[in-house]
A and B are shown apart, each in its own frame.
Chain A
């Protein structure tokens, strides 16, 4: 069964450093998303991406964040200058139609 994959599973970085989180969505999917989950809290929407452009972003997704689909398979989330409060699990999701979203296993980001 096809699944969303994410790398790395765990990323540790120093405050102020740039990180890139990578995702490979399910191959024929058209809609791509990033969510985050701070430990013990609910899953929060960051950004959605369709037809090579951002379709919606939350107030969390400020100028420090960017997304890219550099080729036909990868979908990346870049945080330019990480802050302590960026520490969270980051989930990539994808969907074929417009409803059912399939989530990856997540990348745990720890900012020291």
Chain B
């Protein structure tokens, strides 16, 4: 019940295209859903996060869509760039300083 399932495992997108990564969870106590970006040899860096009281949050080219009834959330990267090539992790937390439960990660490659 604590798992966060993430798909796809890997994704290749053309420059300028839209990258979409999906996550699903079971634990209805989760109330904070961040996305992290990780480059090789580096630590995860917070990209964008959402709480379940809104269905969408947009920051620049990055958008989180959240479907509370389906217990799913997704990351959309608009106008994908080669510099976006990285591993993306969704995560979930019950808040209150509690642990993050991470998805399995998506390796994104943006080709010219």
Contact = CB atoms under 8 A, between A and B. Distances in A.
Contact of A42 (B32, B96, B102): B102
Given A99-B32, A104-B43, A43 B89 contact: yes
Interface in B88-108: 89, 91, 93, 95-105
Interface stretch (B44-52, B59-67, B77-85): B44-52
Contacts of A104: 43
Given A43-B89, A55-B97, A102 B104 contact: no
B57 to A, nearest CB: 14
B38 to A, nearest CB: 8
Contact of A99 (B44, B89, B95): B95
Given A100-B46, A101-B46, A103-B43, A48 B96 contact: no
Contacts of B99: 33, 45, 48, 56, 58
Interface string A27-65: 000110101000001111100101000011010000000
B101 to A, nearest CB: 7
Contacts of A91: 43-44
A99 B99 CA distance: 9
A106 interface: yes
Contacts of A55: 97-98
B67 to A, nearest CB: 20
Given A42-B102, A42-B103, A42-B104, A103 B44 contact: yes
A95 interface: yes
Given A43-B102, A55-B97, A99 B43 contact: no
A105 B98 contact: no
B3 to A, nearest CB: 10
B97 A50 contact: yes
A40 to B, nearest CB: 9
Interface string B15-34: 00000000000000000101
Given A55-B97, A98-B95, 14 more contacts: A30-B97, A41-B104, A43-B36, A43-B102, A44-B102, A45-B99, A56-B98, A56-B99, A99-B34, A100-B46, A101-B46, A103-B36, A103-B43, A105-B41
